[in-house]
């Protein structure tokens, strides 16, 4: 048995930081992030692949600033589409495997139910368009790849919605949060675990595993919620002194908070295909949130 050589891109992001802590015991791990590697320069990324010759690439890099993407279209396209497409082409040429992540924002949110993998994408913003183009470039390359679309990713580090909400709640007696955006709050650790625990342990098994299971899947926190429900659940689960001022949360509508990028209203993902293919149960988003908030207690 030979462990695989794994290359992780985006090790400092919400998902990548957690993924490194899963992948480091699954093979020989090489982990990079900006500025050691720059996805606006696809040639250099491909040169690194030639150099390292990984068996498997886990790509957690993305341009995720949804509003900023509206004015930085070429940068978002390079990072979310062009370079993932070049990585996929390299995988195809060298018979290696790729795991990549996409977003619920490939959908417009008008369907009125949770989205399945075969529902028609129709992004409302540049970020969603660039992520959809990335999916298509990978699928068209015909490399062996798993693409996981996920939604509302948060971690207890950095600038996630949970961290931002807690800082607002320390500041204000009452907060207004939108109740018309529905998604799946997804703890980055859960996403890292559920995406990596399915991988083979033996390098020789990778191509058969990806041949058999490759394709597009939805993978996000179980159940769905509005941003208001998510926020209320954060407040209800603070089991320690967090210096919170907020006593009341009030509902608001998305149109009351104008932003450069238009967001889908109901873009929650149906994740049954992941569960039935890989035989894993996705935990409810409320359980993930409770465990994530436990970390605040130290
Ligand atoms: N966050 C969400 O709510 C959400 C929702 C749905 C889907 N997703 C998808 O889930 C995946 C993981 O998202 P995430 O929340 O973990 O993202 P994230 O925290 O924003 O991390 C993205 C990583 O990419 C790196 N990066 C950005 N520009 C780069 C460049 N030019 N070259 C190399 N690296 C660069 C970032 O480095 P710097 O920090 O140095 O810029 C960061 O480490 C992505 O595919 C994303 O599209 C996320």
For 132-146, what is the mean pLDDT? 97
d(CA 37, CA 45): 7
CATH of domain 5-152+188-220+267-283: 3.40.50.720
**Residue ranges lining ligand 1, Cβ < 6 Å:** 10, 12-16, 33-34, 37-40, 60-64, 79, 101, 103-104, 131, 150-153, 188
Per-residue pLDDT for 289 more than 90?
Answer: yes
Q: Which residue out of 32, 115, 127, 274 is catalytically annotated?
A: 127
Top mutation candidate among 11, 22, 60 for ligand 1, by most atoms within 8 Å of CB: 60
Per-residue pLDDT for 3 more than 80?
Answer: yes
d(CA 207, CA 209): 5
Q: Give the closest residue (by CA) to ligand 1 atom 10.
A: 101
- Strand, coil or helix: what is 234? helix
Q: pTM score, two decimals?
A: 0.96
What is the per-residue pLDDT across 234-283, written as a single tens digit (0 to 9) for each? 999 887 667 888 888 999 999 999 999 999 999 999 999 999 999 999 99
Q: What is the pLDDT of residue 1?
A: 81
Q: What is the pLDDT of residue 247?
A: 85
Whether 58 is catalytic: no
- Strand, coil or helix: what is 125? coil
Output 111 or 298, whichever has higher pLDDT. 111
Between the CA of 86 and the centroid of ligand 1 the distance, in Å, is 18
Q: What is the pLDDT of residue 192?
A: 98
Between the CA of 101 and the centroid of ligand 1 the distance, in Å, is 10
- The overall average pLDDT reported for the chain is 95
For 151-155, what is the mean pLDDT? 97
Per-residue pLDDT for 95 more than 90?
Answer: yes
Q: Give the closest residue (by CA) to ligand 1 atom 20.
A: 64
Query: What is the secondary structure of 140-200 as a DSSP string?
Result: HHT-EEEEEEE-SEE-SSTT-HHHHHHHHHHH-SEEEEESS-EE--EEHHHHHHHHHTTS-
d(CA 200, CA 197): 8
d(CA 54, CA 23): 13
Dihedral sign from CA coordinates of 221, 227, 233, 237: positive
Q: Which of 27-31, 100-104, 107-111, 291-295 has the lowest mean pLDDT?
A: 291-295
d(CA 92, CA 105): 27
d(CA 209, CA 202): 10
For 58-74, what is the mean pLDDT? 98
Q: What is the pLDDT of residue 59?
A: 98
Per-residue pLDDT for 188 more than 80?
Answer: yes
Q: What is the pLDDT of residue 240?
A: 65
Q: What is the pLDDT of residue 295?
A: 85
What is the per-residue pLDDT across 27-46, written as a single tens digit (0 to 9) for each? 999 999 999 999 999 999 99
Atom number of ligand 1 nearest to Cα 12: 43
d(CA 160, CA 289): 13
Atom number of ligand 1 nearest to Cα 161: 3
């Amino acid at each position: 048995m030979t462990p695989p050589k794994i290359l992780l891109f985006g090790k400092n992001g919400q998902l990548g930081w957690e993924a490194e802590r899963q992948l480091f015991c699954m093979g020989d791990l090489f982990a990079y992030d900006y500025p050691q590697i720059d996805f606006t320069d696809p040639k250099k990324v491909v040169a690194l692949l030639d150099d390292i010759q990984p068996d498997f690439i886990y790509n957690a890099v993305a341009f995720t600033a949804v509003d900023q993407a509206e004015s930085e279209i070429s940068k978002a396209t390079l990072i979310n589409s062009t370079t993932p497409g070049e990585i996929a082409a390299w995988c195809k040429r060298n018979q290696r495997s790729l795991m990549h992540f996409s977003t619920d924002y490939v959908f417009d949110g008008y369907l009125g139910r949770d989205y399945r993998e075969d529902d028609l994408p129709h992004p409302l913003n540049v970020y969603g368009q660039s992520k959809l183009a990335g999916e298509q470039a990978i699928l068209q390359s015909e490399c062996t790849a798993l693409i996981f679309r996920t939604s509302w990713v948060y971690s207890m580090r950095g600038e996630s919605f949970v961290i931002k909400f807690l800082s607002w709640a320390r500041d204000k007696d009452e907060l207004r949060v939108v109740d018309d955006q529905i998604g799946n709050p997804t703890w980055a650790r859960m996403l890292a675990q559920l995406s990596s625990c399915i991988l083979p342990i033996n390098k020789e098994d990778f191509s058969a595993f990806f041949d058999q299971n490759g394709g597009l899947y939805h993978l996000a926190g179980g159940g769905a919620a509005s941003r208001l429900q998510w926020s209320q659940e954060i407040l209800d689960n603070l089991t320690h002194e967090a210096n919170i001022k907020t006593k009341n949360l009030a509902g608001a509508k998305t149109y009351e908070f104008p932003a450069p990028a238009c967001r889908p209203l109901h873009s929650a993902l149906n994740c049954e295909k992941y569960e039935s293919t890989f035989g894993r149960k996705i935990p409810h988003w409320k359980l993930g949130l409770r465990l994530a908030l436990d970390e605040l207690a130290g």
